Amino acid sequence: MYRLRLFAIRHSRAFEWIYRRVEQTLVAMDPLFARIGYERVERPVALVEKAVKTVLFDCKMCGQCVLSSTGMSCPMNCPKQLRNGPCGGVRPGAYCEVKPEMKCVWALAWDGASRMKNGSQITEVLPPVERNLEGSSSWLRVSREKAVHLREAREARRTTIAMAFSGARKVEPSTAPLVEEPEAAHRDVTIDPPAGAKADVKGDKT
């Protein structure tokens, strides 16, 4: 879907608009989701999200969507999975260092951002991807985040990233989420450590 991805970036302004509408709709649906239970909607929403975004953006379901801050060019398609701009190896003609047949994801991103209403978001310093959120729905994270707003979890692990990357937190809250994760978001990736190991993990978290 490389061609569609290029198309979406060329029309970044329109896609930015559409994307915001989807987000707003989902945020408005928070009371409904809360009633059904976020654990139960996680799976179906994630499936829809994956289908739509894979076609349009070559989405990799990192769970922490930053498209609005990257010119609608999905940074997970960068072979180095950079989140903050192009590496130092871009080839002449703006082709990728690692995959020379592909345009550099970040050269495209900056180009896409230049046409967007909130394109300047690309200057925010984004945190690293939380790999344990891979596969979960970023849309739901945004809706919970915005709706729950300040009823957020106060885990140090979360608040530190939110503090260290406060700019990103402002423009793309889901990259440094403070809300708790529903069980279902983790089901695929978490491997329960054996009973003894769990105690160790706790001992380390002073």
Partner 1 sequence: MTQPDPATTYAPPPEGHVSHSRLERVLRSGRFAITAELNPPDSADPADVYEAAQPLSEVVDAINATDASGANCHMSSIGISALLTRAGYSPVYQISCRDRNRIAIQGDVLGAAAMGVSNVLCLTGDGVGVGDQPGAKPVFDFDSISLLRTIRTMRDEKVFLSGRKITNPPQLFLGAAENPCIEPHDWRPDRLAKKIKAGAEFIQTNYIYDIPLFEKFMARVRDLGLDKQVYILPGVGPLASARAARWMRSNVPGIHIPDDVIKRMEGAEKPGAEGKKICIELIQQIREIAGVSGVHVMAYRKEHQVSEIIHESGILGTRIK
Interface residues with ligand SF4 (CB under 6 A) are 78-80, 82, 86-87, 89-90, 96-98, 104-106
Q: Output the CA torsion sign for 204, 173, 52, 12.
A: negative
Judged by beta carbon distances under 5 to 8 A according to partner kind, the member of partner 1, ligand SF4, none in contact with residue 161 is partner 1
Q: What is the nearest approach in angstroms of partner 1 to the Cβ of residue 174?
A: 16
Based on the number of CB atoms within 10 Å of its own CB, is 100 exposed (0-12), middle (13-18) or buried (19 or more)? Answer: exposed
Judged by beta carbon distances under 5 to 8 A according to partner kind, the member of ligand SF4, partner 1, none in contact with residue 93 is partner 1
- Does 24 participate in binding partner 1 (rule CB under 8 A)? no
Q: Say if residues 155 and 179 touch (Cβ distance below 8 Å).
A: no
Judged by beta carbon distances under 5 to 8 A according to partner kind, the member of ligand SF4, partner 1, none in contact with residue 105 is ligand SF4
* Residues forming beta bridges with residue 95, ordered by sequence position: 91, 103
Q: Which is nearer to ligand SF4, 99 or 117 (CB)?
A: 99
Judged by beta carbon distances under 5 to 8 A according to partner kind, the member of partner 1, ligand SF4, none in contact with residue 53 is none
Q: What is the nearest approach in angstroms of partner 1 to the Cβ of residue 131?
A: 8
Q: Which is nearer to partner 1, 118 or 123 (CB)?
A: 123
Pairwise CA distance, residues 121 & 139, whole Å? 19
Closest by CA position to 17, among listed 88, 117, 163, 132: 117
Q: Which is nearer to ligand SF4, 38 or 106 (CB)?
A: 106
Taking 3-state DSSP, the helix, strand and coil percentages for the chain, each rounded to the nearest 5, stand at 60, 0, 40
58 CA to centre of own chain: 13
Residues that bind partner 1 (CB under 8 A): 79-94, 97-98, 104, 106-107, 110-111, 122-123, 125-128, 131, 155-161, 163-165, 167, 205-206
